[in-house]
Amino acid sequence: DAKTTQPTSMDCAEGRAANLPCNHSTISGNEYVYWYRQIHSQGPQYIIHGLKNNETNEMASLIITEDRKSSTLILPHATLRDTAVYYCIVRVASSSNTGKLIFGQGTTLQVKP
């Protein structure tokens, strides 16, 4: 299984961009990078996913390096409500992994006033 490495914790000032890195050096060509976040006592919230190209939606941008070995999730203007644990997940495309997301420990992002 492709594994991901994320920093344990990060701080960000309110109103500034939050850039969350993720390393996935063993990723294969057909495996997607997904980002979720989890605010205390809630279920994980889907943020964004991508394969090769950079992606943007109303919540965030996902930048994937050309060699696909790392990615960065960007929250353009962080607010206090963005304080959460952020999970970077590589979705392994095999028949034994249907419906399965493998969560690591994630990055705890603390947005400060």
Partner 1 sequence: KAGVTQTPRYLIKTRGQQVTLSCSPISGHRSVSWYQQTPGQGLQFLFEYFSETQRNKGNFPGRFSGRQFSNSRSEMNVSTLELGDSALYLCASSLGTGFNQPQHFGDGTRLSIL
d(CA 101, CA 9): 21
Q: Which of 55, 102, 108, 110 binds partner 1 (CB under 8 A)?
A: 102
Question: Residue 70: which of 26, 100, 109 has the closest Cα?
Answer: 26
Residue whose CB is less far from partner 1, 29 or 113: 29
How is residue 99 annotated by DSSP? T
Residue span 40-79 as binding mask against partner 1, x where in contact by CB under 8 A, dash where not: -xxxxxx--x-x----------------------------
- C-beta separation of 73 from 46 below 8 A: no
Residues that bind partner 1 (CB under 8 A): 30-32, 34, 36, 41-46, 49, 51, 91, 93, 96-105
